[in-house]
């Protein structure tokens, strides 16, 4: 198998000859050979009549043919759909920005409706002046804007015990990547004044949301002052309800649970709260029964989004685009390798753009598929020198019960028909 | 041991490149009042600081738990359905499938108190008194065999209880145990022999194979993010006149139905309506208006409900209004752990909403 794309099926004659020999394309190609493709030779309705006016769709949605590119949940994973999760259709997307309307949701007490007029943000605790901001106040602070991925700590968590769910959407879809606009957390903390906190090195901030779960988390002051953001826009428009409208916290590179939605309070403290979400959940149990806590950073990870179980190869042998996503919560992606043979040999993929810190990176590998089976894998490297591990490497350190932070190399078995399945290989 | 993982104390991995530098305070916002801070600043710490006054004993806790919690967490905190188990699981953390409960896993009692007071019961958060919260936590401790039945939990006795797994946690050590060894970027001959499949997918096919994959129409998608309910309501209202021919009409006030939909949020944790509705913690409510009580297939009703059903209870406007105003007063021993709807207009709205799902 070679990665060269030239030489096969590129000339028109080659296309017609090749298509005639391929069962799947026989009908259309046969007609085309005889008298030309009617889609070309006959005047079509859409090329003759008129389309919709500019007042038909004040807010545009994807065309109906893309109606299956949506978030999906897996009903039996959780007790009900209110404290639950759904998955981004990463298998069907390209580029790196996740449209808000299909970016995954995770709620602990459901997605609430909170008006800007009813929104209040309090900063209290070890600050010079405890403050309350309205939404309008937040828009008057100097703004910051940057793109970050958000990954749920439980993304790929089902896969610890073996290959479970059949699709990149389900195994890796608890992730999205958006361009956020807001105010840095540092700006707001400094407005309240941090002199009262004394030495900032061992201080914490506690952040909580306005929903019933409150989802409180303790964040070390160093991180709070480094790059956290209080965001009110994503991908240029207001946050969606399900992502915390009107205001959410952005904690770049760290597990999604800390990105508190409907952010209502920031408390400066001299110790962590040890809330439910940082003790009973989002802690990683090791083989001997002890558990890691404060496992905040999301390590480097990648996945081939196509081909994948929901994106089989339908065109037969010949030119094939292998593509996927890579990210690291500890820096920028520097390279992604792809293996077609289950990890025996690797070749470096092409990054669509140089990796940006704590944001998704798109990779491509253009091959000439010879129609033989493949064990497709991808492997991410970040600028700390970290190389995405295999599941076996992770299990060796952690055992099988960690639930969270599974950033192992994923394998898709692609058979000669182009169908892909989730497998685990030796 | 350092309080923070090493990587964090190293130079920051990245900073906001275009972050504004503030010369001085902008004077935005206003000072928070003491009562505002008191209302929101509820966090309780492992050392017991910020605990409120009050107390609760095990037996009171058992009663409150039965009313407010047992519907999801089981009479003995053993869990119902897929909902969390709160008791048991001692010494299972190194087993293949550990059972993580307050008794077996949670390191600090403060977390239980903090969480119950803030976020429970599911669908009625923030309604428990501090005494009831103390009592529930005392009962959870008792269910885990961690206190005797005469135990009274209060600010004063809080630190007498140490949870078994208090010492079971270590601070993230990936920097020491993983990062140094995950650095080998092998490009060829990386594995000996041929690659073999160890496991194939456990749930083949699309997990949503039952999902209706017909394209979502513009109309529904347009409202999906903000108010999916409104589309249904509009449909229900639109269908109402057509139904007149077939059955005696229930005239619907579309506006009231929409209000009822909002009120129904209080019920959604346990009750489902609509095409895809199934029994949950509570029975499915399609057709509940005018239905004979206790007749949903596959739902396990409480004894009092079954008795009332035998007595011929039918969910008409009067009965539903009475039940929803104060469930436990209306029917002693009902499984429905819901405080009730205080406002008549909320009851009227929800009845209209339930009617719209009973056509």
Can you read off the two tokens belonging to residue A2? 């070679």
- Residue in chain A closest to B184 (alpha carbons) equals A387
Lowest mean pLDDT among A215-229, A403-417, B344-358: B344-358
Task: List the single residue in A190, A285, A386 with the smallest CB-CB distance to B93.
Answer: A285
Q: How far apart are CA B266 and CA A168, in angstroms?
A: 34
The per-residue pLDDT for B131 is 98
Residue contact A191–B108, C-beta within 8 A = no
Residue contact B184–A375, C-beta within 8 A = no
Can you read off the two tokens belonging to residue A19? 């298509």
Radius of gyration of chain B from its Cα atoms, rounded to whole angstroms: 27
Residues of chain A with C-beta less than 8 angstroms from the C-beta of B187: 337, 345-347
pLDDT score of B15 more than 80: no
Q: Is A372 on the interface with B (CB under 8 A)?
A: no
pTM for the model: 0.81
A39-44 average pLDDT score: 96
Residue A194, beta-bridge partner list:
none
Contact A124, A130 (CB under 8 A): yes
Residue contact A212–B119, C-beta within 8 A = yes
Interval A94-142: pLDDT, tens: 999 999 999 999 999 999 999 999 999 999 999 999 999 999 999 999 9
**Which of 122-181 (A) contact B at CB < 8 A?**
122-125, 129-134, 137, 140-146, 162-167, 170
Average pLDDT, chain B: 81
Q: Is A115 on the interface with B (CB under 8 A)?
A: no
The per-residue pLDDT for A19 is 42
CA pseudo-torsion sign B76, A282, A403, A102:
positive
Q: How far apart are CA A343 and CA A412, in angstroms?
A: 12
Residue contact B122–A122, C-beta within 8 A = no
Give me the percent of chain A exceeding a pLDDT of 70.
92
pLDDT score of B353 more than 90: no
Q: Which residue has the higher pLDDT, B174 or B356?
A: B174
Lowest mean pLDDT among A63-72, B181-190, B334-343: B334-343
Can you read off the two tokens belonging to residue B91? 């010494």
The per-residue pLDDT for B12 is 47
End-to-end CA distance of chain B: 66
Q: Is A195 on the interface with B (CB under 8 A)?
A: no
Residue of B79, B128, B182 best to disrupt the A interface, most CBs of A under 10 A: B182
Show Cβ contacts of residue B178 under 8 Å, excluding neighbours closer than 6 positions.
A299, A389, A394, A397
Residue B14 confidence class, pLDDT cut points 50, 70, 90: very low
> What is this model's ipTM?
0.90
The per-residue pLDDT for A6 is 42
The per-residue pLDDT for B321 is 87
Contact A336, A348 (CB under 8 A): yes
The per-residue pLDDT for A4 is 43
In Å, how far is B98's CA from the nearest CA of chain A?
8
Is the peptide bond between A307 and the residue preceding it cis, with omega within 30 degrees of 0? yes
pLDDT score of B249 more than 80: no
Kind plus residue range of the DSSP H or E element containing B222 = helix B218-224
Residue whose C-alpha is closest to residue A226's, from B320, B229, B164, B12: B12
The per-residue pLDDT for A268 is 98
Torsion of CA B98, B99, B101, B107, to 10 degrees: -10
Can you read off the two tokens belonging to residue A329? 């919560």
Show Cβ contacts of residue A326 under 8 Å, excluding neighbours closer than 6 positions.
A300, A301, A302, A333, A336, A355, A360, A361, A363, A378, A380
Q: What is the largest CA-CA distance in chain B?
A: 77
Interval A306-331: pLDDT, tens: 999 999 999 999 999 999 999 999 99
């Amino acid at each position: 198998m070679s990665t060269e794309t030239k030489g096969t099926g590129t000339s028109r004659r080659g296309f017609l000859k090749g298509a005639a020999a391929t069962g799947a394309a026989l009908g259309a190609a046969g007609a085309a050979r005889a008298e030309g493709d009617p889609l070309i030779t006959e005047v079509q309705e859409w090329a003759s009549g008129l389309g919709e006016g500019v007042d038909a769709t004040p807010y545009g949605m994807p065309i109906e043919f893309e109606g299956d590119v949506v978030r999906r949940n897996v009903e039996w994973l959780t007790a009900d759909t209110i404290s639950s999760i759904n998955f981004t259709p990463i298998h069907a997307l390209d580029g790196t920005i996740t449209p808000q309307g299909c970016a995954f949701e995770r709620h602990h007490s459901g997605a609430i409706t909170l008006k800007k007029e009813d929104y209040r943000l309090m900063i209290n605790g070890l600050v010079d002046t405890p403050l309350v901001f309205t939404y309008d106040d937040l828009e008057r602070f100097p703004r910051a804007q940057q793109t970050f991925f958000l990954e749920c700590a439980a993304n790929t968590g089902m896969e610890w015990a073996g290959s479970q769910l059949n699709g990149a959407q389900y195994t890796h879809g608890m992730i999205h990547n958006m361009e956020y606009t807001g105010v840095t957390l540092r700006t707001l903390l400094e407005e309240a004044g941090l002199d009262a906190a004394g030495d900032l090195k061992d201080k914490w901030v506690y952040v909580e949301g306005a929903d019933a779960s409150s989802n409180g988390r303790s964040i070390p002051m160093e991180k709070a002052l480094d790059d956290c953001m209080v965001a009110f826009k994503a991908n240029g428009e207001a946050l969606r309800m399900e992502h915390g409208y009107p205001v959410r916290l952005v904690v770049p590179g760290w597990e999604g649970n800390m990105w508190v939605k409907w952010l209502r309070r920031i408390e400066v403290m001299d110790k962590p709260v040890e809330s439910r979400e940082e003790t009973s959940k989002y802690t990683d149990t090791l083989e001997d029964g002890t558990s890691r806590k404060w496992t905040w950073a999301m390590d480097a990870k990648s996945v081939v989004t196509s081909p994948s179980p929901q994106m089989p190869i339908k065109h037969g042998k010949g030119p094939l685009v292998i593509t996927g996503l890579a990210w690291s919560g500890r820096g920028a992606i520097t390279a992604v390798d792809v293996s077609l043979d289950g990890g025996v040999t690797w070749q470096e993929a092409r990054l669509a753009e140089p990796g940006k810190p704590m944001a998704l990176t798109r990779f491509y590998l253009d091959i000439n598929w010879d129609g033989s089976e493949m064990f497709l894998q991808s492997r991410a490297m970040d600028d700390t020198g970290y190389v995405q591990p295999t599941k076996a490497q992770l299990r060796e350190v952690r055992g099988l019960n960690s639930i969270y932070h599974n950033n192992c190399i994923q394998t898709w078995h692609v058979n000669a028909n182009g169908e892909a399945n989730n497998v685990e290989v030796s | 041991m350092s309080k923070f993982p090493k990587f964090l104390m190293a130079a920051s991995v990245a900073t906001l490149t275009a972050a504004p530098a503030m010369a001085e305070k902008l004077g935005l916002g206003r000072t928070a009042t003491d009562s505002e801070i008191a209302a929101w600043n509820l966090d309780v710490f492992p050392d017991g600081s910020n605990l409120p006054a009050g107390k609760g004993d095990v037996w009171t806790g058992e009663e409150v738990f039965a009313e407010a919690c047992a519907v999801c967490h089981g009479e003995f905190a053993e869990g119902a359905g897929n909902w969390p188990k709160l008791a048991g699981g001692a010494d299972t953390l190194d087993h293949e499938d550990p059972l993580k409960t307050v008794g077996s896993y949670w390191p600090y009692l403060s977390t239980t108190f903090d969480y119950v007071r803030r976020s429970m019961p599911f669908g009625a958060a923030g309604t428990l008194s501090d005494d009831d919260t103390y009592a529930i936590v005392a009962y959870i401790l008792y269910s885990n065999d961690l206190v005797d039945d005469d135990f009274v939990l209060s600010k004063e006795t809080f630190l007498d209880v140490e949870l078994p797994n208090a010492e079971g946690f270590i601070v993230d050590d990936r920097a020491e145990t993983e990062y140094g060894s995950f650095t080998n970027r092998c490009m060829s001959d990386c594995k000996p022999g041929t690659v073999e499949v160890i496991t194939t997918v456990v749930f083949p096919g699309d997990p949503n194979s039952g999902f209706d994959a017909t394209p979502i129409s513009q109309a529904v998608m347009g409202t999906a993010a903000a108010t999916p309910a409104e589309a249904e309501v509009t449909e229900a209202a639109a269908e109402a006149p057509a139904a007149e021919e077939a059955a005696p009409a229930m005239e619907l006030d579309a506006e009231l139905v929409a209000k009822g939909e909002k009120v129904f949020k209080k019920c959604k944790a346990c009750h489902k309506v609509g095409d895809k509705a199934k029994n949950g913690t509570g029975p499915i409510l399609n057709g509940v208006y005018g239905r004979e009580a206790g007749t949903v297939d596959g739902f396990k009703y409480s004894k009092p409900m079954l008795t009332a059903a035998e007595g011929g209870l039918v969910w008409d406007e009067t009965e539903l209004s009475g039940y929803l105003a104060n469930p436990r007063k209306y029917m002693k021993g009902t499984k429905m752990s819901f405080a009730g709807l205080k406002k008549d207009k909320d009851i009227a709205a929800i009845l209209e909403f339930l009617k719209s799902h009973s056509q």
